[in-house]
Chain A
């Protein structure tokens, strides 16, 4: 009898505690934020102290004037698994409030409804200078007229040249190549082949491609006027004559003229292993201080002439966030003209007023104002963003698997690119529906 009473008392105690706890948690989830009650979290793929310190400095300044924000945390996720980790956090019910987004997954995020529209908050923020944003840079991050993410980094792909290797191989230097009209892929490949022959070092490297991440090849095939699918993203154009021609060039470079390292071969331009590399300007920081003589040029001209390609990263507010409004307001502050100029130290901004040699040379101390003026600024202003799609991950995997057949001796390029189209047809049609 006594024990039954004890049990009942214990039950009441537990019940009361649970009720109190649930009431307490209920009051915390009310819509109106109290002072010091909002914690914001932004996922990023950088873990560089210099970047994180800069972000935290901007966040601290924001919190001084916004007492409702109790903390702003920048959460670095591993670069390789960034998108998977981000989506896992969303699935697990602990999404960040703001997130960096890769350009190749932009259509997926933009079209899925995962991001909060930003037009209202950006246009209504005092001193934001909304019209200073470069239209071309915004294209990828818009759904119709709604801006769903701010392209905080728009970095053009450029060509770094190892002048010492050219000289050692008895070749004209890059300036002579440009002035004689030889700054073309055809001539770069020929020079690369000669470098391989004379020095045993490599010709040209499409950095980060590594025969897996094929999206980087857009830095080559754009010169042929090729693209993987049409503008609507519903028809595959991998088998177009322009693309076939671009891949014939790449296949020849890898297997015939040996001007590009073949599959499974590691080579690093910045360690002096190659004469040319195509990569983003931010890589200039990897150039050795007392290393080889180098030059920076735009991408070599293709059969279609001059062109440029950019890589972008966006910053958006997730609809899964519990603090959408507060996060959007912070984004507007984080990217306002003053902070965009601060961020320009590391991330080329999409603001036209900041696309000057003076601002950009701060972020790239290894580059001369002339190099920035002639290569970087036009690259940002006119560059096509690397291709992306709303079914990007599936398409990316299918194309990678299909192109593996192409990276062999004597591959039938036309047939393989036809098969590539067949393998992604379903996913392109999905986008259509």
Chain B
């Protein structure tokens, strides 16, 4: 017994031809995709690409907001950048901050992830403790640290109980830079820790067993097996951390206002200062372009260098 489930397709005289579908299946499929990505694309176009274009345009102008002076100055802002007596200090500070943050953050995150990748009691509690700063307001976090780092604040009180005369953290050059780095590391180390943790948990346990059977010690297993296996995640976290470190602003604004002297004035803080405090929006725009290029170059370099040290990339 067979049943014809298909509709009757036989035609009779006088029947009109069925309408040809306007879009093919593939076109409709593609259109649906475009509709889904449209909000994101529009968002990026409106809030990233258009401002980027405008910043590029402004960088060839002098724009003093108060004097209502907006005039084309060609490459004068670029010349000013090359001759800016503070630029070397600002770029050096930015480099020191980024390097310190990346090294300290990634090492601590990996260490914590390895420690908390064990099936022992209290692991979940410590994972929560280390991740919780990530969800706290950045400014609130920094203000609290600001109080702790005062000369008569909590950190020095603690050191004093141990018989140590602590430095005036936020008023001494290197102390201030170290403080800003540490505050930022503790704020975000939990995020990288979780990413490393997920990568570590993706390493098959059989590999560890095989390595142990082959006589590899724990150090060798970690350096020769675990690290190469999680190297794609190391690449991801290092890109995210470097890009984030170059955009630090709030911590500097709240903790040190770029001081003492100019010892913690980093590029983004300097851009905000030039643009909105000194009313030099044209020069500030050029500096923003420079920052964009630095981030772009560093990301491309890291991406290219991954061939040398990132293994098992999917």
Contacts and interface: CB of A to CB of B under 8 A. Distances in A.
Do A and B originate from a single complex?
yes
Interface of A: 3, 83-84, 87-88, 90-91, 108-109, 112-114, 211-212, 262-266, 319-320, 393-394, 397, 400-402, 404-405, 407
Interface stretch (B107-115, B128-136, B209-217, B252-260): B252-260
Given A264-B168, A405-B261, A393 B67 contact: no
Contacts of B170: 264
B5 interface: no
21 contacts: A84-B277, A90-B66, A112-B67, A113-B66, A113-B67, A114-B68, A263-B151, A264-B150, A264-B152, A264-B170, A265-B150, A265-B151, A266-B152, A266-B153, A319-B68, A393-B277, A397-B278, A400-B257, A401-B259, A401-B262, A404-B171
Interface residues of B, number: 28
B279 A401 contact: no
A87 B66 contact: yes
* Nearest 7 CB-CB pairings of A with B: A264-B151, A404-B260, A112-B66, A84-B276, A112-B67, A114-B66, A91-B65
Contacts of A212: 257, 259
Given A112-B67, A264-B171, A401-B261, A393 B278 contact: yes
Contacts of B65: 87, 90-91
Contacts, number: 73
Interface residues of B, dominant DSSP: loop
Interface in B1-41: 22
Contacts of A108: 66
B231 interface: no
Contact of A91 (B63, B150, B151): B63
Contacts of B67: 112-114
A301 to B, nearest CB: 31
Contacts of A88: 276
Nearest to B272: A84
B259 A404 contact: yes
B145 interface: no
Contacts of B97: none
Given A84-B277, A109-B66, 15 more contacts: A3-B22, A90-B65, A90-B66, A91-B63, A113-B68, A114-B66, A262-B168, A264-B151, A265-B152, A266-B150, A393-B278, A397-B273, A401-B260, A402-B261, A404-B260
Contacts of A90: 65-66
B259 A400 contact: yes
Contacts of A320: 68
Interface in B37-73: 63-68
B196 interface: no
Contacts of B185: none
Interface in B270-308: 273, 276-279, 281
A121 B11 CA distance: 88
A293 B64 CA distance: 50
A237 B74 CA distance: 36
Contacts of A405: 260-261
Contacts of B152: 264-266
A408 to B, nearest CB: 8
Interface string B63-89: 111111000000000000000000000
Contacts of B262: 401
Contacts of B64: 112
Contacts of B22: 3
B261 A262 contact: no
B210 to A, nearest CB: 56
A112 B68 CA distance: 8
A394 B270 CA distance: 12
B105 to A, nearest CB: 26
A320 B22 CA distance: 53
A265 B166 CA distance: 13
A401 B89 CA distance: 13
Nearest to A407: B171
A67 B279 CA distance: 37
Contacts of A265: 150-152
B276 A87 contact: yes
Given A262-B151, A401-B258, A211 B171 contact: yes
Interface centre among B151, B153, B169 (most CB of A within 10 A): B151
Contacts of B63: 91
Interface centre among B66, B153, B260 (most CB of A within 10 A): B66
A394 B276 contact: no
